[in-house]
Amino acid sequence: MDATELLQGYPVVPVVVIDDVSVSVRLAETLSDAGLNVIEVTLRTDDALAAIRAIAESVPGMIVGAGSIRRPRQFTEAKEAGAAFMVSPGASDALLDTADTLGIPFIPGAATPSEMIGLYERGYRLQKFFPAELAGGHAYLKSVGGPLPEIGFMPTGGITTANAQQYLSLKNVMCIGGSWITPSELQKKSDFDAIRRLATDAAHLGV
């Protein structure tokens, strides 16, 4: 249920929106070659589940997750496609109950201390902090770490190369989610060389 052990040692998780399944395997291979061996494919497009399936089947060693989980049925759909973990921008009793039932690693989202404590009581040592920059940024998370030292976070939203290291330097940040690594304009142009450069730079963060 908790994804802490699964993502241990992976400080940067590319958060990817894939509009065209045909680029998914090449994209995942490029990330893996650059040293990033975890990918979160968000369920925001029609091709997302097919992309998860293609990556899970064709890129050995890549840990594939499904992001933007909003409805219980998406757990089953993503798991059947090959997702090894799930991520949500928030949490609900229905989502948490489904994660309990399926026993799949899940990173629910929280933005307030009350939400964080509630999720910790349900067994979640690793939580998504979203939208990170708009919700208070690294200064907020640093403050939260005082009274809630047992909770780890994966901040996502507004993180770039300019502020990534600030988050990763915090004791309560286990990893960050980064959408800057695979921008849609580079995917549309199939500019995998540019994506590889961004991924290589990201792979050195937190090291």
For the segment 6-17, the average pLDDT, to the nearest whole number, is 97
Q: What is the pLDDT of residues 149-206, one digit of tens each?
A: 999 999 999 999 999 999 999 999 999 999 999 999 999 999 999 999 999 999 999 7
Which range of residues forms the domain containing residue 150?
9-201
**Cβ contact 33:152 at 8 Å:** no
Choosing from 29, 40, 57, 150, which is the catalytic residue?
40
Q: What is the pLDDT of residues 42-73, one digit of tens each?
A: 999 999 999 999 999 999 999 999 999 999 99
Residue 50 near residue 25, CB atoms below 8 Å: no
Strand (E) or helix (H) holding 90: none
Residue 1 lies in a domain: no
Whether 74 is in a domain gets the answer yes
Q: What percent of the chain has pLDDT over 90?
A: 98
> What is the pTM assigned to this prediction?
0.96
* pLDDT, position 2: 84
CATH of the domain at 18: 3.20.20.70
Q: Does the residue 207 lie in any domain?
A: no
Distances (CA, A) of 187 to 5, 42, 86, 198: 31, 15, 23, 13
- CA pair distance 44, 181, nearest whole angstrom: 17
* Mean predicted confidence (pLDDT) in 84-103: 97
Residue 2, in any domain of the structure: no
Token pair for 98: 């489904």
Locate 193 and state its tokens: 């060389």
Per-residue confidence (pLDDT) for residue 207, from 0 to 100 = 64
In a 3-state reduction of DSSP, which class is residue 16? strand
Indicate whether 65 belongs to any domain.
yes
Residues 108-153 have pLDDT tens digits of 999 999 999 999 999 999 999 999 999 999 999 999 999 999 999 9
Residue type, 91: A
Within a domain: residue 63? yes
Which of the residues 128, 133, 171, 185 is marked catalytic? 128
CA-to-CA distance for 191 and 85, rounded, in angstroms?
28
Domains in the chain, number? 1
189 is catalytic: no
29, part of any domain: yes
- How far is Cα 17 from Cα 111, in angstroms, rounded to an integer? 23
CB neighbours of residue 41 within 10 Å: 33
Residue 140 lies in a domain: yes
Give me the percent of the chain exceeding a pLDDT of 70. Answer: 99
Q: How far apart are the first and last CA of the chain?
A: 27
Note the pLDDT of residue 56.
Answer: 98
